[in-house]
Amino acid sequence: MSGSDAVGAGSGGAGSDSGTGAQGQDGEGYAGLRIERARELARRHGWASVRVLEPGDLMTMEYRQGRLNLAVRNGVVERSWEG
């Protein structure tokens, strides 16, 4: 799996202090989850899109509000962040 996958409608993702996160969920709370569970939670929390990055995947460096990035190895999220 790689690239971007839209996961649901919504205007915003993370930012625990910015007020843009749905239900207060920030982009850093997904480490340790299986990818399927992380995507399900991202949908529930209103992320506009999820980008899954496996080891060796190339990624653009532009910041996109409302996008959740998931660095994944062997089906488990190692790191997550907004943008």
pLDDT per residue as tens digits for the range 50-62: 999 999 999 999 9
Q: How far apart are CA 37 and CA 25, in angstroms?
A: 15
Beta pairing partners, 44:
none
The CATH label, of 1.10.3720.10, 2.102.10.10, 3.40.640.10, 3.30.10.10, for the domain at 3-82 is: 3.30.10.10
pLDDT attached to residue 56: 94
Does residue 56 come out as left (phi exceeding 0), alpha (psi in the -120 to 50 range) or beta? Answer: left
From residue 32, give the alpha-carbon distance in Å to each of 5, 18, 76: 20, 25, 6
| DSSP H helix total and E strand total for the chain | 1, 4
Residue 10: both structure tokens together: 């919504």
pTM of the full structure: 0.69
pLDDT attached to residue 26: 79
